[in-house]
Amino acid sequence: MAGSVEGIGARVQRREDKRFITGKGRYTDDMTVAGMAHAVFVRSPHAHAKVVSIDADAARAMPGVIAVLSGQELVADGVGNLICGWMIHSKDGSPMKMGAWRALESEHVRHVGQAVAVVVAETRAQARDAADAVEVEYEPLPAVVDALDALKDGAPQLHEEAPGNLIYDWEIGDAAATEAAFASAAHVTRMEIRNNRLVPNPMEPRAALAQYDEADEHYTLWTTSQNPHVARLVLSAFYNIAPEHKLRVIAPDVGGGFGSKIYIYPEEMVCLWASKKTGVPVKWTCERTEAFLTDAHGRDHYSEAEMALDAQNRILGLRVKTVANLGAYMSLFSSSVPTYLYATLLSGQYAIPAIHCNVKTVYTNTVPVDAYRGAGRPEATYLLERMMETAAREVGMDPAEFRRANFIRSFPHQTPVIMCYDAGDYDASLEAALSAIDYAGFAARKAEAARRGKLRGIGLSCYIEACGIAPSQAVGSLGAGVGLWESAEVRVNPVGTIEVLTGSHSHGQGHETTFAQLVAERFGVGLDTVAIVHGDTDKVQFGMGTYGSRSGAVGMSAIVKALDKVEAKAKRIAAHLLEASEGDIALEGGTFKVAGTDKELPFFQVALAAYTAHNLPAGMEPGLKEGAFYDPTNFTFPAGTYVCEVEVDPETGRTEIVDFVAADDFGTIINPMIVEGQVHGGLTQGIGQALLENASYDADGQLLSASYMDYTMPRADDVPSYRLMTTVTACPGNPLGMKGCGEAGAIGSPPAVMNAITDAIGTNALEMPATPQAVWAALKTVRPAQ
Ligand code: MCN
């Protein structure tokens, strides 16, 4: 059925959109259970303070209040601290220094918005009023928000366990070889690079509804999670909230996550605990400003980078020192982001013989930082692609030519920073993008813009990323502590309809469509006979969830394995019923056919026979249901070239993106329309980072941009009409040849935009976000008289 209207490669409209765009989605906040109460958290207004006392007497006496609970009761009940599950060791071999993070903190708060108590009341309004009436006395302490400041002598100290606020001092690569490369360099390019702090801002804020059933001591948690099984595992195994078999976690429709809904936050834990404690179901829904103050932020790196070139402008070495701000506590995967998800990609698409990277991670009085779309890979790509552009300009070489001269061309390619790239064709995407944008014609366009008083610039970004996050062996040996794979179960019902249970979780990526396309392709059945089941730990036994653009390459590969088993059994049944040999049976267009004859059986008749026939092949168990786990041997490596063309108004500093071409290699594409949507979303987030978005703290640790009045999300008129194209090198590591597409746009686009703007204005002295004010100020440094 290849190329059919519903199979692999078809632009099938998203089946789930019918309910989403008609307002019929069922999100956590839509869930209601009898007797449900509402939780509102009492949060610290201080970035850093001792909690002297919490007086909840007045609040407890207010109408509708069921309970006011604080950290002391939480500790007394044995609820565990929040953990970071990815162990990193410093270069001296010592383990990372993790300060305790309690879901409700009753002694020492470390960021504005940290929860100190929770009010449970009959209505949300009553809970909010009572939360305002909880009297918390604080003794404010000096705060530090910048990671470099936090490392200085005399800086405020956040955790006793982490002297000097240093969590770990880690390194990767070969320091001596890199040193030698620099010693023989003909040219060295140096840059200081900041990657600005971002707030994820999914459309649906986080929410939780927890119900404890006293009769059978069973808990149910509906929550906005990207990985409900991991949530259940962590809540039961580490936080001591409920035994795993007595806890059902349901992640119903989830309105976006972008990484921010991977983690277990204090609020879900507290709702579960409070539900048992109060005897009523407890619901909490985050308000938008609360989300700014509590959802894990992204990025926030400061780096010093050096690139050594030989006399022929080939890269000899790359040396990077990065300080990463992890905020006030270590979120679940935070330690992996500035290490294995970042520094392992610093080779980019280039053959760099020697790389050394040192990363220090630091506590500050800010919201915890964790994975946000791309997670480490945007930071690596931004650093490297800004360096590539700058180095090319410094040595007077065309930036495209400079990249071409340094591309990796033979595969597999082992980089000096762990990754082994399996396949790619970087020339193909570069050439496709350059030809689409008419790179050769840029000079004429720049001259024409100048006649209109505009500064026109062009910028490239040749990104690579490692996704399909899994290989158990790799992530396990790198400190994750657990294997990462994906599960699938295919249940063919007696009437031939098919349910696919997957451990992946869709929260905007269209899995209900693409996963069904895979089944339609394989069995030749209609999409309407296939249901995709996910997001419920009582239905799907275990799964690892969705992040790291893994659901296609890993989740769908697990489905392929299960489909293989189902098909093999179905063929045995068909052969038996058709009195043919198994080797002669082919499944074509939804029908089992005997080669060279007109004997055939429709798919549904074989399914029915699997459950109802009295004469199945000897020894065969009835039923048609198979499960599989898929654990790849390597990541997948999507790559591509983005080219951005901008015009800057020198009067105002305003940047307009006048053209943007993206040439991506995602291997085999299941649904081009969905992939384009994923790239559009990623590009828009990347452009948001480059031009608009910034989580800005004042020196006291107050988040100045804690609402949409101050935090600028990209709008339709901030982005161009993208021009997308794909080149294909199939990933050899999975049965479908797929590479992930969910993060690429956000990874590759920020440097393309910044390279274009700096090209336009003629100075590199510009950091993200390139707001009109920042661009105008940078312009003044090179054109003071104008
Ligand atoms: N796909 C395809 N062909 C390919 C690759 C993918 O047709 N070669 C399809 C897949 O079948 C899937 C979609 O594209 O329907 C995305 O697949 P994949 O790249 O595997 O990514 P995941 O499904 O694992 O999604 C995770 C990824 C990440 S890590 C972030 S962050 C992100 C993103 O997806 N968050 C999103 N896209 C998002 N989109 C929305 N709307 N909301 C989010 O929170």
Listing DSSP states for 267-312 in one string gives HHHHHHHHHHHHSS-EEEE--HHHHHHHS-BEEEEEEEEEEEE-TT
Residues 618 and 639 in one domain: no
Same domain, yes or no, for 89 and 209? yes
**Closest residue by CA, ligand 1 atom 20:** 552
Q: How far is the CA of 741 from the centre of ligand 1 (A)?
A: 6
* CATH of residue 396: 3.30.365.10
Which residue's alpha carbon is nearest to atom 34 within ligand 1? 742
Residue nearest ligand 1's atom 27 by CA: 742
Report if residue 197 sits inside a domain. Answer: no
229 & 289 share domain: yes
My answer on whether 509 and 435 are in the same domain is no
Number of domains making up the chain: 3
Query: What is the rounded CA–CA span in Å between residue 201 and residue 189?
Result: 36
For residue 303, report the distance from its CA to the centre of ligand 1, in Å.
29
Q: What is the dihedral of CA 581, 586, 587, 591, to 10 degrees?
A: -70
Residues 398 and 463 in one domain: yes
Q: Is residue 669 part of a domain?
A: yes
Is the CB of 682 inside a 6 Å radius of any atom of ligand 1?
no
Are residues 592 and 529 located together in one domain of the fold?
yes
Cα separations in angstroms, 435 against 441, 464, 662: 10, 20, 11
Query: Is residue 245 domain-resident?
Result: yes
Q: What is the pLDDT of residue 2?
A: 43
Per the structure block, which two tokens stand in for 151? 């490392």
Whether residue 653 sits in one domain with residue 620: no
For residue 369, is it within any domain?
yes
Buried b (16+ CB within 10 A) or exposed e, 686-719: bbbbbbbbbbebeeebbbebbeeeebbebeeebb
d(CA 710, CA 660): 27
Q: Whose CA is nearest to atom 36 of ligand 1?
A: 258
Ligand 1 site-directed mutation target among 509, 549, 669, most atoms within 8 Å of CB: 509
Distance 463 CA to ligand 1 centre (A): 17
Residue 677 Cα, ligand 1 centroid: separation in angstroms? 9
Q: Is residue 557 part of a domain?
A: yes
- Among protein residues, the one whose CA lies closest to atom 10 of ligand 1: 552
Beta bridge partners of 663: 641, 725
In this structure, the residue with its CA closest to atom 37 of ligand 1 is 742
Phi-psi region for residue 465, left (φ > 0), alpha (ψ -120 to 50) or beta?
beta
Nearest CA to ligand 1 atom 43: 256
**What are the distances in angstroms from CA 162 to CA 293, 412, 599?**
23, 40, 73
Q: Is the CB of 352 under 6 A from ligand 1?
A: no
Same domain, 656 and 703: yes
**pLDDT recorded at residue 4:** 61
Q: Which atom of ligand 1 is nearest to the CA of 202?
A: 44
The pLDDT tens digits of the residues spanning 768-781 come to 999 999 999 999 99
Q: Are 261 and 224 in contact (CB under 8 A)?
A: yes
Say if ligand 1 is within 6 A of residue 368 CB. no
Query: Which ligand 1 atom is nearest residue 674's CA?
Result: 14
Q: Are residues 619 and 521 in the same domain?
A: yes
Tell me, yes or no, whether 537 and 599 share the same domain: yes
Instruction: Examine the fold and report which residue of 608, 630, 652 is the final residue of a domain before the chain moves on.
Output: 630
Looking at residue 786, what is its pLDDT?
59
Cβ count near 310 (within 10 Å):
14
**Substitution site in 206, 547, 678 for ligand 1 pocket (most atoms within 8 Å of beta carbon):** 678
Distance CA 277, CA 269 (A): 12
In angstroms, the CA 698 to CA 690 distance is 21
Across the chain, how many H-helices and E-strands are there? 20, 28
Query: By alpha-carbon position, which residue is closest to atom 13 of ligand 1?
Result: 509
Query: Would you give the end-to-end CA distance of the chain in angstroms?
Result: 64
- Residue 473 makes CB contacts below 8 A (sequence gap 6+) with 483, 633
The last residue of a domain, from among 590, 612, 630: 630
Ligand 1 center to 447 CA (angstroms): 40
Find out whether the beta carbon of 256 lies less than 6 Å from any atom of ligand 1.
yes
Tokens found for residue 449: 């813009």
- CB proximity list for 104: less than 8 A, separation 6 or greater: 69, 70, 71, 74, 115, 116, 117, 118, 266, 270
Closest CA to 499 of 521, 516, 513: 516
* Upper half-sphere CA count for residue 215 (Cβ side, 13 Å): 0
- 505: Cβ below 6 Å to ligand 1? no
Q: What is the distance between the alpha carbons of residues 538 and 222, in angstroms, rounded to a whole number?
A: 12
Which residues does the chain have with pLDDT short of 70? 1-4, 785-786
Edge-first strand order for the sheet with 625-630 is 530-533, 498-502, 486-492, 625-630
Same domain as 535, residue 461: no
- Domain-located, residue 182: no
Distance 289 CA to ligand 1 centre (A): 27
- Containing domain of residue 224, as a range? 31-141+203-256+261-294
For residue 147, tell me if it sits in a domain: no
> Which segments within 380-438 are labelled E, that is strand?
413-414, 420-421
Element of type H or E holding 758: helix 744-761
- Choosing from 527, 551, 674 the residue with most ligand 1 atoms within 8 A of its CB, the one to mutate for a pocket test is 551
Q: Which of 566, 598, 630 is the last residue of a domain?
A: 630
Q: Are residues 65 and 84 in the same domain?
A: yes
Burial class (CB in 10 A: 0-12, 13-18, 19+), 598: exposed
Q: For residue 500, give the nearest of 572, 551, 568 by alpha carbon.
A: 551
What is the per-residue pLDDT for 475? 83
Residue 716 belongs to a domain = yes
Pairwise CA distance, residues 328 & 323, whole Å: 15
